[in-house]
Amino acid sequence: MIRKTLVFISASLLCISPLPAQSASVDQRVESLIHQMTLEEKLGQLIQYTASQPDVRGLAAKGGVGCVFNSGGAAQTNALQRAAVEESRLKIPLLFAHDVIHGYRTIFPIPLGIASTWDPSAAELAARIAAKEASASGIRWTFAPMVDIARDPRWGRVAEGAGEDPYLGSAMAAAYVRGFQADSFLACAKHFAAYGAAEAGRDYNSVDMSERMLRQVYLPPFKAAVDAGVRTIMTGFDSLNAVPATANDHLLKEILRGEWNFRGFVDSDYHAIGQLIDHAVAATPQEAALKAIRAGVDMDMFDATYLTLAAAVREGRLSESVIDASVRRILRAKFDLGLFERPYADEQRERSVLLAKEHVDAARRIAQESIVVLRNQGALLPLSKNAGTIAVIGPLADSKADMLGSWYAFGKPEEAISVLEGIRAKTTQIAYAKGDDIAAAVTTAQKSDVVVLAVGEEGKMTGEASSRAFLDLPGNQQQLLEAIVATQRPVVLVVMSGRPLTISWAAANVPAIVWPWFPGSQGGHAIADILFGDVNPSGKLPITIPRSVGQIPIYYAHLPTGRPEDPAIKYTSKYIDSRNDPLYPFGYGLSYTRFEYSDLRVSGLTVSADVLNAGERDGDEIVQLYVRQLVASVSRPVKELKGFRRITLAAGEKRRVEFTITKNDLQFWLDHGWTVEPGTFKVWIGPNSVEGLEGTFEVK
């Protein structure tokens, strides 16, 4: 009893001044609060727990936790929030976070699919809707966008990003940040940095790369996110050049806060601070905590290693001012979100916002744009709605859950539209076979006029901790595919996946190949819209599709080498058992109409060309601009994307598309900084990274 009384007295004495009125500036309110906080309360703000961790409610009531993640729903978050706001001493509200990666309840295509739209406004809209739904459910911070460049499709997390290219990735990163943060919501650019370059495509594996590769390829999307005002950054699990990202002064202090002047806060990834021990750069939890907080990691996700800092401060090993700096950044974010004034979610509003019609319609439209048609031999597509009987076959043909891919937050599989349901909404002459019984599937195909074969990865095969050493169609799908093709019926192959797959046999033997990645809640409708031509496909690859795993890493913006491949000359850079070129290149995708490029003009740094829709159907074309510096102090890539534009052309319409190349587009990293060197440059305007009109320009 005594102890409680003492605690009460000390607490009431400490509470010497109430929170300043809202009129005081955020900084003044932050300072006033910090001066009242005990060391334990300060550390509490740096701790991030999942809602299911033991006694989160009790900790919140004592000011022992600052953020709760993996909880969602207005009622659920409000219950925890009351513990913090009504029971704790200083009533600092909790910040609720979740992995709202491609939708909260209305699920959009996976980010690799959204990247295939080459439409930043689509990314921005998807993020804005996701934030609106999440916010209505009490979530005010998402661990997105994931902006890791990935050039190794063995890595399961290529699904979560925007592919292999820093220019496209930067445009998408900025768009997601604008969308998520449009209305009192925090985004988080992750995983800082170079986590996507894990050796051998094996998740969590080491990363080793030159400063030049880091600066030119892996950092630009993070810089774009910071320039777009992203409020938080999450460190990666990886070690970069043997220094774990979660204790990396070069990344966090020199680059992020030093060069880029990032003023938000940095969150660790899940248990990544404690894992500094596994990285063998710390022997104890306290050493790990000291390394992380000194490097600039403000918040500790999941394992509360930061609680060991109390002793470090009391034993004089850490100045309390270091902790104050982190607390300040987190409190500022909470004030900026208005959490002190409006800490609760509105359950009534939640019901009206989730799955709102305009959200579902947007999910369908964005899914339509995200679908890439890779082959359409003999114009088999679009299918006619009275094309006789359509056999819909395959393990993914009637799977609703797999439409959502990975990281689908509070999306519900039962609310997703499968391929079969999408096709049923177009026509009734359908036969269905799952395909696990190949003979039965063959019979179904033989009785039909055309086959739509839906194959690929299950959603749970992609995302985190889902690296694959082989990229073939999983299970018995290849056998199923060959048996169906052997029936001589025309086959449309629909491949759903979270990454490129090595489908060389299909590319040579199947007339039509459609790649919707994982298209989200409205995926089945969007796929059917494309298959029947209600929508003209426009998606283009944001990542190279290899012929084999043996080619990996394979990407278009590679260096020329001293012996560029020459099939006629043995001693040049190539394989004795494979072609060098990919199965499908970066930027590639077909339309049901035909776009023709002509009349490239270069004037100074302005480059333009005519694009004609030479077909009978209106359509969207993603016009791409690539540049190459022919000679420089260091070897430069054979091509780099430096512009793209999505245009809509009516049948027969011609339009001139113009790009202006900037200094930023021509700079490269040399030793200790960016530079532009004079010289001759090649430039291309075209439909993808291997075709286009070529010109040259000089930089004096």
List, in sequence order, every residue forming a beta bridge with 97; answer none if it has no partner.
69, 141
Asked if residues 539 and 117 have their Cβ atoms less than 8 Å apart, the reply is yes
Residues with Cβ within 8 Å of 42's Cβ and at least 6 positions away in sequence, in order, are 34, 320, 323, 324, 327
**Torsional sign, CA 687, 688, 693, 696:** positive
3-state secondary structure 472-535: CCCCCHHHHHHHHHCCCCCEEEEEECCCCCCCHHHHHHCCEEEECCCCCCCHHHHHHHHHCCCC
Q: How far apart are CA 464 and CA 498, in angstroms?
A: 11
Q: Which residue, 51 or 451, has its beta carbon nearer to ligand GLC?
A: 51
| Known catalytic residue at 361 | no
Q: How far apart are the first and last CA of the chain?
A: 82
Residue 464, interface with ligand GLC (CB under 6 A)? yes
Residue 382 forms beta bridges with which residues? Answer: none
- Cα–Cα distance measured from residue 391 to residue 99, given in angstroms and rounded to the nearest whole number: 37
Q: Binding to ligand GLC by residue 143, rule CB under 6 A?
A: yes
Task: Tell me the two tokens of residue 471.
Answer: 């990229």
Nearer Cβ to ligand GLC, position 41 or 99? 99
Residue in the shown chain whose Cβ atom is closest to ligand GLC: 143
Q: How far is the CB of 407 from ligand GLC (least distance, A)?
A: 8
Residues belonging to the chain: 700
Pattern 387-426, ligand GLC, x by CB under 6 A: ----------------------------------------
| Pairing status of strand 512-515 against strand 595-603 | unpaired
Residues 241 and 238: their CA atoms lie apart, in Å, by 9
Place of tokens 């990407």: 555
- Going by C-beta distance under 8 Å and a sequence separation of 6 or more, which residues neighbour residue 556? 164, 165, 544, 585, 586, 587, 638, 639, 689, 690
Nearer to ligand GLC (CB atom), residue 42 or residue 191: 191
Select the residue interacting with ligand GLC from 29, 89, 178, 190 (CB under 6 A): 190
Q: Give the residue, chosen from 72, 93, 99, 239, that forms a contact with ligand GLC under the rule CB under 6 A.
A: 99
* Residue selected from 270, 340, 408, 659 as contacting ligand GLC according to rule CB under 6 A: 270
Rounded CA-CA distance 683/603 in Å is 12
Compute the distance between CA of residue 475 and CA of residue 256 in angstroms, rounded to an integer. 44
Residues 250 and 242: beta-carbon distance below 8 Å: no
Catalytic residue among 269, 298, 303, 402: 269
Of 460 and 563, the one with the shorter C-beta distance to ligand GLC is 460
Beta bridge partners of 188: 232
User: Do residues 626 and 665 lie in contact, with contact meaning Cβ atoms separated by under 8 Å?
Assistant: no
| Residue carrying the six token digits 């439209």 | 365
Please report, as a single letter, which amino acid is at residue 659. F
The separation between CA 264 and the C-alpha centre of its own chain, rounded to angstroms, equals 20
Burial 317-349 (b: 16+ CB within 10 A, else e): ebeeebbbebbbbbbbbbbebebbeebebbeee
Asked if 102 touches ligand GLC (CB under 6 A), the answer is no
- CA angle centred on 289, ends 288 and 292, rounded to 5°: 85
Token look-up 């319409």 returns 653
Cβ contact 521:403 at 8 Å: yes
Token pair belonging to 41? 């309360």
Q: Give the DSSP letter of residue 418.
A: P
What minimum distance in Å lies between the beta carbon of 600 and ligand GLC?
A: 42
Two structure tokens written together for 563: 């012996």
Looking at the Cβ atoms of 270 and 684, the one nearer to ligand GLC is 270
Q: For residue 175, give the nearest of 233, 140, 126, 237 by alpha carbon.
A: 126
Q: Which is nearer to ligand GLC, 269 or 298 (CB)?
A: 269
Residues in a beta bridge with 67 = 48, 95
Size of the site for ligand GLC (CB under 6 A): 6
Among 41, 269, 457, 620, binds ligand GLC (CB under 6 A): 269
**Catalytic residue ranges:** 269
Interface residues with ligand GLC (CB under 6 A) are: 99, 143, 190, 269-270, 464
